[in-house]
Amino acid sequence: MASNKQVVLITGANAGLGYEVVKALYATSTPYELIVGSRTLSKGEDAIKSLKSEVPSSPSTLSVLQVDLSSDASLEAAVASISSTHGRLDVLINNAGAGFDGEIRDGAMSIREAFNASWDTNVTGTHVLTTLAVPLLLKSANPRLLFLTSGTSSITETDPAIWGAFPALARINASPAKGWPKPKEVNPLTSYRSTKVGLNMLMREWVRILKEDGVKVWAISPGFLATGLAGIGKETLLKMGARDPSVGGEFIRDVVEGKRDADVGKAIRSNMIQSW
C-alpha cells in the first residue's frame, strides 16, 4: 500500500556510512519509509534492531531488503518488491561500495580480479540498480538520486600544485621513493579511486539522461570517514585523520532534505563543490 511518507532506499545500509544515513533520517521529525538495503538479510535485520535501540522514537518506518549489487536477479527482485509495496521510490541513495586494493597488496587477489570486483560493485552494479529503479523514481513528486563518490576521485587534486599545501591530500597523492617494488601502503586506493572517477561520470550521465524528468542528481563526497571500507580498523583510521561516519550520515540527510538543491549535478562535499 502506498504511503504518504517519502520512500527512501539506501544500499549498503547495514553498516558504516549507510547505517549512519539511515540513523540520521530515522532520528528526524520527518516521516520516511526507510528501506535498509543489505546483501545479507540477517545483517539488515540486526541493523534495524540496533537503530531502534539507538533511536527509540521515530515517525519513520524501517524495513530490510536484500540488495546485492553483484547480482542482477537480486536487484530485479528488490525493485519489484519496492514497486509492489510502495508503488514508487522518492530517494535512491547508491551508497554500497567496495574496495579490494588491500587484497592486491596482500596477494589475496590479482590486480585483474580486484579491479573487476571493484568496478562491478561500485559502478556496474550501481548502474544496473539505478536503471531498474528509474521508473519508480519518475512516479515521485520530488525524486532524488544520490551516488556516493569519494574525495580520492578528484583528478584536479592529484596535481602537486594543489595537494602540496594540504597534508590530507599529500597522504594519498604524494609519490613514493624511487625504485621497485614500491613499499606496501597502509591504505592503498588505486582501484577504488579509479572506480569513483568512473562513478562521477556515471552520475553526469544520469544528469543528462534525466534532465527533462525533474530528477535531482548528485555525487556525494562524504569525506574521509572511519567506516572500515578497506578492512582497516576504525581506530587506525581515526588516527589517520578520519572522522566519525555519523558526520557523513548527517551530510547526506541534509541533501535528502533539500539543503543542497542549488548544487544538483555536481560532486559535493559538506562545505564545498569537489573539483573534478
> N- to C-terminal Cα distance for the chain?
42
259 is catalytic: no
19 is catalytic: no
Tell me which residue of 219, 215, 228 sits closest to 197, measured CA to CA. 219
Distance CA 105, CA 88 (A): 43
Which of 23, 196, 216, 266 is labelled catalytic? Answer: 196
* Longest alpha-carbon distance in the chain: 63
192 is catalytic: yes
Which of 32, 192, 194, 266 is labelled catalytic? Answer: 192
DSSP string of 137-175? HTTSSS-EEEEE--GGG-SGGGSHHHHTT-HHHHHHHSP
Cα separation values, 8 from 21, 63, 65, 179, 180, Å: 11, 10, 12, 50, 48
The backbone torsions φ and ψ at residue 217, rounded to the nearest 5 degrees and listed phi first, read -125, 135
Distance CA 220, CA 16 (A): 15
Q: And the C-alpha cell for 29?
A: 521529525
Which of 58, 60, 74, 150 is labelled catalytic? Answer: 150
CB 9 within 8 A of CB 133: yes
CB 182 within 8 A of CB 237: no
Q: Catalytic residue numbers?
A: 150, 192, 196
